[in-house]
Amino acid sequence: MDTEYDAIVIGGGSAGLSFARQAAGLGRKIALIERAELGGTCVNRGCVPKKMLWTVADALHRGSGLTRAGILGPAPQVDMTRLCAARGDKLESIRQSYRETLKDAGVHLIEDTAGLTAPGEVTISGQRLHAPRIVLATGGHPIKPDMEGAALACDSDEVLNWTTLPRSIAIIGGGYIGCEMAAIHAALGVRVTLVTDTDRVLTEFSENAALVGQRNMEAQGIRLVTSCTPEAVRQAGDGLELVLDAETVLKVDKVVAATGRAPNLGVLGALKDRVALTDKGVVKIDARFETSLPGLHAVGDCADRLPLTPVASSDGETLARQLFGTHRDPVELRHVATTAFVLPPVSEVGQPSPKAIFDEATLSPLSAALRADAPQDYWGLGGSDAAVTSVSLVAEGAHEAIAWAAQMLQHCPDRGSMQRALGVHPSTSEEAMG
């Protein structure tokens, strides 16, 4: 095995893969070390399997509202065996494509567990590899709350590998992961209760957009318990009990902890005290993604950036260019679009200031006239007359539209010009454009 490289990247998720491909394409000798499956969280335990489940849930959700209104016949049933098989096949095909892409790029893929033993030195199975640049792309993992019986709860990794559906679940956590798990499983026919210690769900999004998303979740049949910190999880026969307080206990088949994620930093070993972390426990980096230890860089979910796949991929490519090609600044996080895959999706880009002009509206889409669940849509435009700086959407297709909105905001459109564009009729877009 070669032991000298221009750069060694630890982690084969979105950030690490992006860095390795780009750096190798710039003519550099690159090693990528991955201890588990290529693709990292996104492919194996996150975005991809979630979106496949959401696709089925979305179809069932739309159909069930029409069924309850008497317009469609009985709702179809989910064949979990076929769904899981299709999911497994897709994930394996993605992993294989990554393997082939790395090979074609000339990246040396090492499937092993890495450890940093000195600046510029990585050890695998007793062998030492060296490079002037080491890139941490180790991702993160779900964490469970500090409470009695927390080990009895499933985390998001486990949920996305379920092969059968429980009859009932209680989800702890009202962020986008908890809400997505709630919406998806409710549509799949599971009785869902979501418990959050905040006064509303989806606090990552602006308040009014999140509140519309919350009402849609309640209309879907999800029970929401806000401003509550559960005390314990207990075994109860074949199921579990989630203790909310001295008087309230939820009896369910499964408890799901969606209470945040932490970076994978075990690779730092004896060097951990030389790598500064933020208050959130992720790695501090500068504009060149360099940590407090010279020559050590960090990208992806372990670094102090937005923990989103597009950001990780962009940052990996940007770092490769900064080190070995033409300099490029990191993407500005205010231009990054994000979506919670509830039903319908809640999507947003940009952050309006408190003094911004903000136009918004909540409305009933035409489809609500046919559906018993009557979902609400929402749009919001923030900024000034001279420049729109934020867009918020709650609607079917919002997850697709928000990316185009992000591109539009890069060009700082003035409000008048933007609203002279005509939306498709009948749709929520025409309300925002008008």
| Segment 249-293, tens digit of pLDDT | 999 999 999 999 999 999 999 999 999 999 999 999 999 999 999
Separation of alpha carbons 283 and 300, rounded Å: 10
Of 130, 141, 185, 425, which residue is the catalytic one? 425
For residue 411, pLDDT beyond 80: yes
pLDDT of residue 228: 97
The pLDDT-based confidence of 352 (bands split at 50, 70, 90) is: low
For residue 78, pLDDT beyond 80: yes
Cβ atoms 30, 6 nearer than 8 A: yes
β-partners of residue 241 are 234, 251
Q: Is 179 annotated as a binding residue?
A: yes
Separation of alpha carbons 168 and 45, rounded Å: 22
Q: Is 397 annotated as a binding residue?
A: no
The pLDDT-based confidence of 351 (bands split at 50, 70, 90) is: confident
pLDDT of residue 424: 87
Element holding 210 (H helix, E strand): helix 207-219
Tokens 């559960």 map to which residue? Answer: 230
Separation of alpha carbons 411 and 261, rounded Å: 34
- Name 226's Cβ contacts closer than 8 Å, sequence gap at least 6: 174, 196, 198, 199, 200, 201
Average pLDDT over residues 87-102: 97
Q: Is 51 annotated as a binding residue?
A: yes
Average pLDDT over residues 374-393: 91
Full set of structural domains in the chain with CATH: 7-46+81-141+262-333 (3.50.50.60), 150-259 (3.50.50.60), 344-433 (3.30.390.30)
Average pLDDT over residues 205-231: 96
Q: Is 315 annotated as a binding residue?
A: no
The pLDDT-based confidence of 416 (bands split at 50, 70, 90) is: confident
For 282-305, the DSSP string reads SBP--TT-B-SSTTEEE-GGGBSS
pLDDT of residue 26: 98
Mean pLDDT of the chain: 94
Average pLDDT over residues 214-220: 96
Average pLDDT over residues 347-356: 81
Sheet holding 223-225, edge to edge: 223-225, 191-195, 168-172, 254-257
With 0-12 / 13-18 / 19 or more C-beta atoms within 10 angstroms meaning exposed / middle / buried, residue 266 is exposed
CB atoms within 10 A of CB 238: 6
High-pLDDT (> 90) share of the chain, %:
85
Q: Is 176 annotated as a binding residue?
A: yes
Q: Is 174 annotated as a binding residue?
A: yes
Average pLDDT over residues 224-230: 97
Residues 15-43: tens digit of each pLDDT: 999 999 999 999 999 999 999 999 999 99
Residues 52-67: tens digit of each pLDDT: 999 999 999 999 999 9
pLDDT of residue 72: 93
- Per the model's pLDDT, the better-predicted residue between 327 and 282 turns out to be 282
What is the rounded end-to-end Cα distance, in angstroms, of the chain?
63
High-pLDDT (> 70) share of the chain, %:
99
* Annotation says 141 is catalytic: no
Q: Is 175 annotated as a binding residue?
A: yes
β-partners of residue 18 are none
- From residue 348, alpha-carbon distances to 135, 211, 378, 421, 424 in Å are 30, 14, 11, 20, 20
The pLDDT-based confidence of 188 (bands split at 50, 70, 90) is: very high
pLDDT of residue 434: 64
- Per the model's pLDDT, the better-predicted residue between 322 and 1 turns out to be 322
Q: Could you tell me which of 427, 369, 391, 402 has the C-alpha nearest to residue 65?
A: 369
Q: Is the dihedral of CA 11, 16, 17, 19 positive or negative?
A: negative
- Name 122's Cβ contacts closer than 8 Å, sequence gap at least 6: 8, 10, 33, 114, 115, 116, 128, 129, 130, 131, 134
Q: Could you tell me which of 307, 263, 267, 259 has the C-alpha nearest to residue 283?
A: 263
For residue 354, pLDDT beyond 80: no
Torsion-angle region of 207 (φ positive above 0: left; ψ -120 to 50: alpha; else: beta): alpha
Average pLDDT over residues 144-150: 97
For residue 426, pLDDT beyond 90: no
pLDDT of residue 308: 95
